[in-house]
Amino acid sequence: MALLVVLFGTFMDLLDATIVTVAAPAMARDLHAGDTQIQWTVAAYALALGAGLVTGGRLGDQYGRKRLFLTGLAAFMVASALCALAAGPGMLIGVRAGQGLAAGIMVPQVFGIIRASFAPAERAKAFGAYGAVQGLAAVAGPLLGGLLVDADLFGLGWRTIFWINVPVSVLALAVGGRALPESRSASSARLDVPGALLAAAGILLLLLPIIQTGAWGWTWGSYALVAAGIAALALFLAYERRLTRRGDEPVFDPALLRIRAFAVGLGASVPFFGGIGSFFLTLSVYLQNGTGRTAWETGLVILPYALGSIVTSGLGVALAAKAGRLLLVTGSLTIAASQLVLWPMVKDGDDPGYWLLALPLFIGGLGLGLAAPILVNVVLAGVPGRNAGAAGGVLSTANQIGSAIGIAVLGTIFFTAVTDSATGRPGLHDHGHALGIVLIISAALYLVTALAMLALPKAALAHPE
């Protein structure tokens, strides 16, 4: 029951990170939002979540993972209701950031709770279930989003994608209060507030100009913000090392980066999830604004991706200990292949039709199911139990930063290509040309991911403790 509760929280978090992609065109029309505001609506959640996860993990280690999980879930519920009540794009973007911060408190507790609830021999399966949920939510979001937008329940339209979180969260809070075990780190060290602030500032400064590229362009101010972000993150690592040498407990222990599986898997997560986040946003805009499909029809087009993920996710978990690295490489290459198969179908501005689209999307889902569940185990392999929350926070942070960067960079490339290609109102040819560019870049990201995964130790998954 404890596993079901935390997996539900994980699913809801990831669902809200992806469900907006299908609803984005309807939200833009209703709130009169521009292209940059559409990107912000999706990326603000990932950005705020990424900025808060490391601190959230450490708070759970110190003050109780059950307590922080339920607190984050309650805040997530309130933020969801405020999203549904948004009167304009500015309010929606701001509350989405609040929703991301709430998830940043909730999500990193999952890893510590799993460790506290399961014997060592069972933890690999529990983490595998977490990975399967992670992959499934990435594709279930667009399908559910399309259904809710087109159903227009009570005349609420896209707002139902947020209202649905409220009653479900109430149920999860009631069950979680009884079923979740409390656990915390044995350490009584004070929270590393300066380190937490430096990490959040560095991530924000680094991603802000990337997300705002469409509105600002690349000026000296943009480069200055990127440089400031890099400097803040370098200062963060230096400060954390200093705390470690003094015997204090930092918000992130740099020694974790010396664990080969953790460091390599962490680096591979960024392009992996960057490709996923940007792909579904640009595909959704292409399908609705380009081919004229409804939100529900868009969700149905994406359904084969979900089915492919379901087919292989169980196989990946079962074979992880024997062929973990091979599965990761194969999964990444399979996703890259799916992008390359889809590219010639859309680049010239044609509408391939449902079944031709379904084939490459199903192939992509097969690759996601092989890689996503295993990637979690790789990153957490060899991490000491006392650092479970912090390591889980770093893992999820890398995923969210990758997603935010992908949405910012590839989203900007997509919308810019649509505008540059159009001679009047953008049509199918303009959207197809833009999506083709994104697909080529996305395929390259997965090839890079596959190469990075070749550096993983072969036995990383055989010893998830």
Structure tokens at 160: 């139902």
Of 42, 36, 27, nearest to 100 by C-alpha is 42
Residue 56 is predicted with a pLDDT of: 80
Place of tokens 């230096």: 238
* Structure confidence at residue 235 (pLDDT): 95
Report pLDDT for 462. Answer: 41
H-helix or E-strand containing 173?
Answer: helix 165-179
Phi, psi of 347 (to 5 degrees): -65, -30
Angle at 163 between CA 35 and CA 405, to 5 degrees: 35
Q: Are 85 and 207 in contact (CB under 8 A)?
A: no
In a domain, 303, yes or no: yes
Higher pLDDT pick, 86 / 380: 86
Residue 375 scores a pLDDT above 80: no
Distance CA 175, CA 180 (A): 8
**In this structure, is residue 187 part of a structural domain?**
no
Report the pLDDT value the prediction gives residue 320, as an integer from 0 to 100.
Answer: 65
Assign 189 a pLDDT band (cuts: 50, 70, 90). low
Question: Does position 43 have pLDDT exceeding 90, yes or no?
Answer: no
Closest CA to 431 of 158, 35, 128: 35
**pLDDT bucket at 317, cuts 50 / 70 / 90:** low
Residue 463 has what pLDDT? Answer: 40
Number of CB atoms found within 10 A of residue 107's CB: 32
Coil vs helix vs strand at 217: coil
Mean pLDDT of 322-338: 87
**What local confidence, expressed as pLDDT, does residue 345 receive?**
92
Q: How many domains in the chain? A: 1
Place of tokens 């090392």: 241
Averaged pLDDT, 81-104: 92
pLDDT band at 134 (very low <50, low <70, confident <90, very high): low
Judged against a pLDDT cut of 90, whether residue 447 lies above it is answered with yes
| % of the chain surpassing 90 pLDDT | 22
- pLDDT value of position 461: 46
Q: What is the pLDDT of residue 224?
A: 94
How confident is residue 126, by pLDDT bands cut at 50, 70 and 90?
confident
Confidence band for 464, pLDDT divided at 50, 70 and 90: very low
Mean pLDDT computed over 178-206 = 77
The pLDDT value recorded for residue 145 is 83
How many C-beta neighbours within 10 Å does residue 73 have?
Answer: 26
Does residue 184 or residue 109 have the better pLDDT? Answer: 109
Buried b (16+ CB within 10 A) or exposed e, 108-126: bbbbbbbbbbbeeeebbeb
Token representation of residue 241: 């090392």
398 in any annotated domain: yes
Q: pTM of the entire structure? A: 0.79
Does a structural domain hold residue 183?
no
Q: Reply yes or no on whether the pLDDT at 151 is more than 60.
A: yes
| Residue that is written with structure tokens 């040309």 in the block | 433
* Confidence grade of residue 21 (pLDDT, cut at 50, 70, 90): confident
Residue 78 belongs to some domain of the structure: yes
Select from 442, 403, 411, 398 the least CA-distant residue to 45. 403
Average pLDDT of the residues of the chain: 82
What gap in Å lies between CA 293 and CA 38, rounded to an integer? 18
Give the structural domain span for 16.
Answer: 2-177+193-462
Give the domain CATH number at 152.
1.20.1250.20
Given this model, what pLDDT does residue 342 score? 95
pLDDT bracket for residue 216 (50, 70, 90): confident
The answer to the question of residue 185 being in a domain is: no
Average of per-residue pLDDT across 347-356: 88
Q: Is 18 among the domain residues? A: yes
Q: Between 460 and 100, where is the model more confident? A: 100
Q: Is the CB of residue 207 less than 8 Å from the CB of residue 408?
A: yes
pLDDT given at position 74 = 94
Q: Which residues of 262-288 are buried (b: 16+ CB within 10 A; e: fewer)?
A: bebbbbbbbbbbbbbbbbbbbbbbbbb
pLDDT, tens digit, for every residue of 242-300?
Answer: 988 887 777 777 877 887 778 887 888 888 888 887 888 899 889 998 899 998 898 88
pLDDT for 81 equals 95
Whether residue 188 lies inside any domain: the answer is: no
